[in-house]
Amino acid sequence: MASAQFPKPGDHQFQYGTAGFRMKADLLDSVVFRVGLLAALRSRRLNGSTIGVMITASHNPPADNGVKLVDPMGEMLESSWEKYATNLTNASTDEELVTTYTNLVKETHAFDVTPKVVFARDTRASGSRLVAALVAGLEAAGAEYQDYKLLTTPQLHYVTRCINTKGSPHAYGEATEEGYYQKLATAFKTASAGKKFHGEIIVDCANGVGGPKLQQFLKYLPPVAEGGINIRVVNDDVVQPDRLNYNCGADYVKTNQRAPPSSHAEKMQRCCSLDGDADRLIYYFIDNDDTFHLLDGDRLSTLAALFLSDLVKSAGFPAEKLRIGVVQTAYANGASTEYITERLKLPVICTNTGVKHLHHEATKFDIGVYFEANGHGTVLFSDVALKRIWKHEPQSPAQKIALDTLQACTQLINQTVGDAISDMLFIELILAHKGWSPKEWDLTYKDLPNRLGRVEVRDRNIFVAIDAERKLAEPMGMQAEIDNLVGKHKSGRAFVRASGTEDAVRVYTEAATRSEAEELLQKITVRVREYGNR
């Protein structure tokens, strides 16, 4: 039996978390084999639609890896299937696995068709070994498959959607890496025609797969000498696996609120960081007084919402024809939420952490802007919105210019999932249109000082969050203690939640001053340790 080659390690309990399965790579072989079985089953359930599988652990350290499934339109696996993934991966013997799988075939009403799966991986050393386990699972399930080798996570999402929409009125593009570059580059050139890019942007690629892919993409853009965008790629070493996400990348910058030590950026230099699989993006700069300024996912969100609202108006759409909304999580800075509701006058929805939750809510708007504060997000245009945008008759040359840009944005933005390369081009485009440096962007509102902590405890699962993860239901009594601590600080806000990608508990604090946010973080951290190690 094929599964005998990939036995489940001991009594380890697996769980499909915030972004699929993620853990130390040497625990993952049986999981990935079984994800192969599940991907085939999901394809059969959807009558032979192509399912994507991405092998990556994104922002996690090099020794970790992970695997997640991508549904046909490039979205994350439908959440009702996560329990099947969890059940399959926890079957303790080969016999139990066969029984679980056979029951799932019945329970999911899978069709008797040949399953189709595409997959890719990031640059981690364990990736190719795990691909072998995946292929064994796919072959055991009789699937047809295509190996896209090294891709960023959003590229795999893009390819999956392209394959499933090919020949339909919703055709998304050419299902190749080159097709992805062509599509984005064409849209970027159209949307930035006649605009000037100010200076160079330094892009830190976290020494992950985004480095070589961005280098490749640059070949599709106009040369700097002809007015093209000037992108300097740094931290693109994928030869030494240990350098992945080490002292660099979007997670490092966001969590530590400082530039990577390797970034020797000049003062006022525009910089950004991708994460290990290029689905997150964070901007930053150091001002003339050596103060570090972070432009995180909330800033991407507010800038995108501001720009799109203006474009929609300038193109001549009445507000009710294209309703724009923003989706955030509890990590969103309070000042950003206030800016969106009070200044931009747009609705805001708060969801649980995990792009799958934000994505779902964003589909409820004509134009749904969603970003997690950690830089993970995108903009979604509903089918109705796309029809309106492409059929609209501009009434003046100014409306036509705005409409052309809006149409190009629908092509530039990767609507399947957050995509750091696509998001970066979108932000660069907005800055060029507005003639802004990051300083003007930073001045749109003032962030409340905040801190993000990570606490390792004996069992993180005792921390059960509710109310879009803004409150703890368990352990009993802890929320009252947090409320009490928060109440002692002006503009105080804090929450605690178990991470779904790391074996740790996250603590977020916000207050009127940095020292108060820090003090709150320290006090809550002590309480988390105490409850978590009881």
Least distance (Å) between residue 280 CB and ligand G16: 5
Q: Which is nearer to ligand G16, 45 or 376 (CB)?
A: 376
Q: Which is nearer to ligand G16, 3 or 501 (CB)?
A: 501
| Interactions with ligand G16, residue window 365-384 (CB under 6 A) | 372, 374, 376
Q: Which is nearer to ligand G16, 376 or 392 (CB)?
A: 376
User: Quick check: 301 and 368 in contact, CB under 8 A?
Assistant: no
Least distance (Å) between residue 153 CB and ligand G16: 7
Residue recorded with tokens 């055991």: 140
Is 320 marked as a binding-site residue? Answer: no
Structure tokens belonging to residue 15: 């769980």
Is 461 marked as a binding-site residue? Answer: no
Contact pick of 160, 353, 416, 509 for ligand G16 (by CB under 6 A): 353
Please report which helix (H) or strand (E) contains residue 247, including its range. Answer: none
Residue span binding ligand G16 (CB under 6 A) among the ranges 25-33, 333-341, 487-495, 496-504: 496-504
Contact pick of 183, 254, 506, 527 for ligand G16 (by CB under 6 A): 506
Least distance (Å) between residue 497 CB and ligand G16: 7
Is 499 marked as a binding-site residue? Answer: yes
For 329-359, give one letter per residue: b (16+ CB within 10 A) or e: bbbbbebbbebbeeebebebbbbbbbbbbbb
Structure tokens belonging to residue 135: 């292929």
Q: With binding defined as CB under 6 A, does residue 173 bind ligand G16?
A: no
Q: With binding defined as CB under 6 A, does residue 419 bind ligand G16?
A: no
Spatial separation of the C-alpha atoms in residues 510 and 333, rounded to whole Å: 8
| Interactions with ligand G16, residue window 30-89 (CB under 6 A) | 58-59
x/- site string to ligand G16, residues 226 to 265, per CB under 6 A? Answer: ----------------------------------------
Least distance (Å) between residue 387 CB and ligand G16: 30
Least distance (Å) between residue 282 CB and ligand G16: 11
Contact pick of 64, 204, 502, 519 for ligand G16 (by CB under 6 A): 502
Least distance (Å) between residue 53 CB and ligand G16: 15
User: Quick check: 245 and 59 in contact, CB under 8 A?
Assistant: yes
With CA atoms as reference, report the closest residue to 66 among 99, 94, 24, 107: 24
Tell whether omega for the bond before 475 is within 30 degrees of 0, i.e. cis. yes
Within 13 Å, how many C-alpha atoms sit on residue 385's CB side?
23
Least distance (Å) between residue 82 CB and ligand G16: 13
Q: Given the residues 58, 126, 301, 422, select the one marked as catalytic.
A: 58
Q: With binding defined as CB under 6 A, does residue 420 bind ligand G16?
A: no
Spatial separation of the C-alpha atoms in residues 215 and 272, rounded to whole Å: 15
Spatial separation of the C-alpha atoms in residues 55 and 20, rounded to whole Å: 10
**DSSP 3-state of 321:** helix
Q: With binding defined as CB under 6 A, does residue 301 bind ligand G16?
A: no
Is 493 marked as a binding-site residue? Answer: no
Is 497 marked as a binding-site residue? Answer: yes
Bridge partners of 293, per DSSP, are: 285
Q: Which is nearer to ligand G16, 29 or 279 (CB)?
A: 279
* Amino acid letter for position 13: Q
Size of the site for ligand G16 (CB under 6 A): 18
Structure tokens belonging to residue 192: 């930035």
| Interactions with ligand G16, residue window 6-35 (CB under 6 A) | 18-19
Is 44 marked as a binding-site residue? Answer: no
Q: Where are the extended beta strands (E) located within 131-226?
A: 144-150, 200-204
Q: Which is nearer to ligand G16, 379 or 431 (CB)?
A: 379
Least distance (Å) between residue 533 CB and ligand G16: 20
* Amino acid letter for position 352: N
Cβ neighbours for 466, distance < 8 A, ≥ 6 positions apart: 472, 473
* Amino acid letter for position 337: T
Distance of CA 126 to the CA centre of its chain: 22
Q: With binding defined as CB under 6 A, does residue 389 bind ligand G16?
A: no
Is residue 58 part of the annotated active site? The answer reads yes
Is 498 marked as a binding-site residue? Answer: yes
Q: With binding defined as CB under 6 A, does residue 355 bind ligand G16?
A: yes
| Interactions with ligand G16, residue window 303-342 (CB under 6 A) | none
Is 500 marked as a binding-site residue? Answer: yes
Spatial separation of the C-alpha atoms in residues 37 and 94, rounded to whole Å: 13
Residue recorded with tokens 């994507």: 52
For 241-258, give one letter per residue: b (16+ CB within 10 A) or e: bebbbbebbbbbbbbebe
Binding-site sequence positions for Mg(2+): 58, 275, 277, 279
Query: In the complex, which residues of this chain contact ligand G16 (CB under 6 A)?
Result: 18-19, 58-59, 275, 279-280, 353-355, 372, 374, 376, 499-502, 506
Active site residues: 58
